[in-house]
Amino acid sequence: EVQLVESGGGLVQPGRSLKLSCAASGFTFSDYNMAWVRQAPKKGLEWVATIIYDGSRTYYRDSVKGRFTISRDNAKSTLYLQMDSLRSEDTATYYCATGYFDYWGQGVMVTVSS
Amino acid sequence: DVVLTQTPPTLSATIGQSVSISCRSSQSLLHSNGNTYLNWLLQRPGQPPQLLIYLVSRLESGVPNRFSGSGSGTDFTLKISGVEAEDLGVYYCVQSTHAPPTFGGGTKLELK
């Protein structure tokens, strides 16, 4: 059974940092591109970043470029999202998903507020 | 970026009714490799999204066959043939033919 389990969310002040993790199991993690998708409260889904299966390339939405870093550890089957210089508009539930959005984690809430 | 426009934004249905949701793209979603990377997702209240349909019309394993997808190029449709109570929630189309991937705005399916 495919499982994606996110962790690391919480309440953080504007300008501070947070690192999300996503532990994968039930599939060959190193074969899959992976993505982070977020959903602000009562809003739709918004792609955040993608990393290629071997970590060789990364892609970001414009609003997080230079602030967020997606990475992966294939030996640990784990995906990461380092979020720096957080803003109130980054408040959302963050989902880890496979690259074509076929499998999703349960999500983790990130609240940016003073 | 590719814009996906879903209609209607809200859909009211009775149990057993058949309904359709449209997803229109601002550009063709046909990839140079011949695939069309258009998926349909369902997000039930309080739950993460789940895949229903991939590559326009392929039913994900375990998804009831009352769900079907069709379309090509820029126009796509999700049909539910006989709504059941467990189908309530928000439906999203998502494309990954063009970078960056983009989602439709969602269609909320409610009980009438």
pLDDT above 90: residue B51: yes
Q: Go through A35-73 and write b for each residue having 16 or more CB atoms within 10 A of its CB, e for each that does not.
A: bbbbbeeeeebbbbbbbebeeeeebbbeebeeebbbebe
pLDDT for residue B112 is more than 90: no
- What is the residue type of A85? S
Q: Residues A60, A6: contact at Cβ < 8 Å?
A: no
Rounded to whole angstroms, how far apart are CA atoms B34 and B48? 30
At residue A98, the pLDDT reads: 95
Q: What percent of chain B has pLDDT over 70?
A: 100
Give residue B98's pLDDT: 94
| Cβ-defined contact of A59 to B94 (cutoff 8 Å) | no
Residues of A in contact with B106 (CB under 8 A): 44-45
- pLDDT mean over B64-80: 98
Q: Looking at the partner chain, which of A44, A103, A104 has a beta carbon nearest the beta carbon of B106?
A: A44
Residue A70: predicted pLDDT: 98
What percent of chain A has a predicted confidence (pLDDT) above 70?
100
Q: What is the mean pLDDT of residues A42-54?
A: 96
Residue of chain A nearest B51, judged by CA positions: A102
List the end-to-end C-alpha distance of chain B, in Å, as a whole number: 35
- Is pLDDT of A96 > 90? yes
Size of interface A-B (CB pairs under 8 A): 50
Beta bridge partners of A62: none
pLDDT greater than 90 at residue A25: yes
CA atoms within 13 A on the CB side of B44: 10
- Token couple for B5: 């426009």
Mean pLDDT of B104-111: 96
Provide the mean pLDDT of chain B.
97
Using CB atoms, pick whichever of A44, A99, A104 lies closest to residue B48.
A104
